[in-house]
Amino acid sequence: MGEIAILIPFFGMTIGLIAVLGGIWTSHQKMKLKIAEAQGGAEAAASRATQMELEKLKERVAVLERLITDEDRRLAGEISQLGAGNPRG
């Protein structure tokens, strides 16, 4: 019976230690999860900003393409008008 009397406090302390370490581990995991979520939010914001910048650049390229092609058409029209106004022959 003396051996059991020694084991009871030992098991009580062991279970208490396991509970404390489990609580510490759980809080550490929660903290890691919060950090990961915060970083994910920052990455998502950066991704949205990059996407918006890409859309702006696409719009600017479209405007530049339109200006270039309009200039070519206008110039071709002026050349054809000059050719029609001065018939060679």
- What is the token pair recorded at 55? 């859309």
The CA distance from 88 to 82, in Å, is 11
pLDDT at 5: 79
Amino acid at 27: S
- The contacts of residue 53 (CB under 8 Å, 6+ apart) are none
| Nearest Cα to Cα of residue 36 among 50, 52, 28 | 28
For residues 36, 37, 40 and 41, what is the CA-based torsion angle, rounded to 10 degrees? Answer: -150
pLDDT tens digits, the chain, 89 residues: what are they?
677 778 888 888 899 999 999 999 999 999 998 888 888 877 888 888 999 999 999 999 998 888 788 777 787 788 888 877 655 54
pLDDT at 11: 85
The CA distance from 11 to 52, in Å, is 61
- What is the token pair recorded at 28? 């550490």
Q: Does the predicted TM-score (pTM) go above 0.75? A: no
pLDDT at 21: 92
